[in-house]
Amino acid sequence: MSFTLTVISAPAKPAVTADLVAKIRSVIRVDTDFTWLMEGVACDFVIPKHPDYANLRAELRVALSNAGVDMALQPSEGRKKKLLLADMDSTMIQQECIDELADEVGLKDKVSAITARAMRGEIDFDPALKERVALLKGLDLSVVDQLFAKRITFTPGGKSLIQTMKANGAYCALVSGGFTHFTAKVRESLGFDEDRANILLEAGGKLTGEVGMPILGKDAKKQRLHELIAEMNITAADSLAVGDGANDLAMIQDAGMGVALHAKPNVAAQAEFVIDHGDLTALLFLQGYKASDFITT
């Protein structure tokens, strides 16, 4: 079985130089085929035979630790995936929506602290969500709708990721511990096939401070992954999941390609694929897509 080493930097900060390529070849120590996925940004090294892939991975991590790049070593076959499950907050978008909502009632610091602890896995997600939503009681629903346009920004590469995978036959699902008010807009903007999230309850045009039950957390994300695998009659190896927080870890670990994207340290430590430098196009490079393959509209 041949393996492929993929080295990825941020498109905005190309870091895959000729010197770095030479350094990588010296670590691999066997003949390899080299392919640019995007010149200066990402490349593949196909390693048909190596005496010790486990130690090679460790050696490469040390050699590239200060190079401003991410790396993945995986079997060359089956890299392109048929199913994507993606988290929303701090993954497909650059904010935590509940923190931005809390800012509207002057409680962002308090809510952000709870969010950070929940995403690090220090407190359970469900009670943390209930506590934060309770603080939003009385917030006018029109503020929720306006906030998306005012504050929410997309993570670079997101639309290319979704559109390129869909153009190649993949199904793309947005599964969030956030709220349907936001996931519906993200789904429509980026082209996801479906979105699932929590429901903010309201009455008379104002938030009640309660969230609809059951809460969509880590177990529901994992469950949806396995439901879609069964519905599509594919295997777990055909799936890709991406997220940044503790409530994403179960689906990340069960997916064929589970990616921790700019993730909390305890999440990154438990994920096979870790992207600290690249943007969402890194998930396309991991699958072997070249920049010329990207769908950008």
Question: In this structure, what are the phi and psi dihedrals at residue 29, rounded to the nearest 5 degrees?
Answer: 65, 15
- DSSP string covering 147-186, please? HHHHH--BPTTHHHHHHHHHHTT-EEEEEEEEEHHHHHHH
CB contact set of 162 (below 8 Å; sequence gap of 6+) = 84, 172, 190, 191, 192
Q: Omega of the bond prior to 214 within 30 degrees of 0, cis?
A: yes
Strands of the 239-243 sheet, one edge to the other: 194-198, 171-179, 83-86, 239-243, 257-261, 273-275
Pull the structure tokens for residue 25: 């070849």
Distance from chain centroid for Cα 107: 27
Residue 244 catalytic?
no
Question: Which one, of 93, 222, 92, lies nearest residue 161 by Cα?
Answer: 92
Residue 292 DSSP one-character state: G
Distance from chain centroid for Cα 114: 21
Catalytic residue selected from 19, 44, 70, 89: 89
Residue 145 catalytic?
no
Catalytic residue selected from 70, 87, 126, 238: 87
Active site residues: 87, 89
